[in-house]
Amino acid sequence: MMKRCLDEGLLQAYLDGELSHEQMSEAAAHVAACEACAGALAAAEGETAFFAAAFAPDDAVSVPTEALRSRIGAAVAQLEAGTEANHARTRGWNFGGFLASLSGLLNFTPQSAAAFAGLLAVVALAVIYFAVQRQTGKPSSFNRGEIARAGNTPPVAIPGAGKQTDEVKNANEDGTQPPKAGNVISVSARRSRGIRAERKPVTLQTKGPEVLPGEKEYQTAIASLEETIKLGGDATLRPAVRVEYERDLAILDSAIRETRRVAAQNPKDKDVTGFLMSAYQSKVELLTKVADQAQVAALGR
């Protein structure tokens, strides 16, 4: 039997059953003989009972069974597989997301639509201009077959030449002298006096100004825009806009006329031609802007 009283650690180990069999027997004998240790043991038992009642709801939670654990593991594995598949799709090229991002670009406002249309017109005119430049820049080729045929053309026989030779030959055989060259010329001259050649009236064709490459497309576009402005009603424009439009249009027309005159004199001058095309482009942009405003004003009426 223990001679010393049990401390708090031994009492708690005795209550929890953590002592060996021999120590449990000695502790039980000592508690039976010692009133102080018996009181301390009773107090420890009361404290343990109090805490056990307080934590009873947490202790009542059941531990998951093996089947439940397998189901939970399968669900977690499925979620992880779906997450990896989503990561793989996001790392690749998402065509659907690309189309969805382009859908925002297709929502044009009136201003962006007009700007986009003007850009397309400029690109189309540039393509046409370079195509015409490429066609006009090619040197003309001669047909070798036609040249060969022209070289093999037989000589043209002069009518009456053989007859005159026979007459001269017959005259020599008869012993008579052939006529002199002066008499032949005078006779032919007298005969030719009675024949009057009918002359067709000569008509002088005046060529207009030569159209430079790419100029025809600009003129067509300008005519179309002017017709659009006329149909939309340029009178509906605000006075300030109308004054500015007429002033800029007069300046551009004057610049085009002067540059056109210089380009007609020097058609191979690329600087003059480039300045002329730039003036045409400025006029197209001005007419496009005014045509859009005229159409908006006509719709608002």
Determine the distance from the C-alpha atom of residue 139 to the mean position of all C-alpha atoms in its chain, rounded to a whole number.
34
> What pTM was estimated for this model as a whole?
0.31
Rounded Cα–Cα distance for residues 218 and 287 (Å):
12
Q: How many CB atoms lie within 10 A of CB 102?
A: 9
Identify whether the C-beta of residue 286 lies closer than 8 Å to the C-beta of residue 252.
yes
The pair of structure tokens assigned to 23 is: 């120590």
Say if CB 212 and CB 267 are below 8 A apart. yes
Distance CA 236, CA 295 (A): 9
Query: Which amino acid does the sequence have at 210?
Result: E
pLDDT band at 203 (very low <50, low <70, confident <90, very high): very low
pLDDT for 188 equals 45
Provide the pLDDT for residue 155: 46
pLDDT computed for residue 103 by the predictor: 57
Percent of the chain whose predicted confidence (pLDDT) is above 70? 56
Dihedrals φ, ψ of 286, to 5°? -65, -45
- What single letter denotes the amino acid at residue 278? S
Rounded to 5°, the CA angle 256-257-263 comes to 85
* Predicted pLDDT of residue 104: 57
Q: Say whether pLDDT at 164 is over 50.
A: no
Q: What is the mean pLDDT of residues 142-150?
A: 42
Query: Does the pLDDT of residue 248 top 60, yes or no?
Result: yes
Of residues 63 and 146, more confidence is placed in 63
DSSP string, 16-85: HT-S-HHHHHHHHHHHHH-HHHHHHHHHHHHHHHHHHHHTHHHHTSPPP-HHHHHHHHHHHHHHHHHHHH
Q: What is the mean pLDDT of the chain?
A: 69
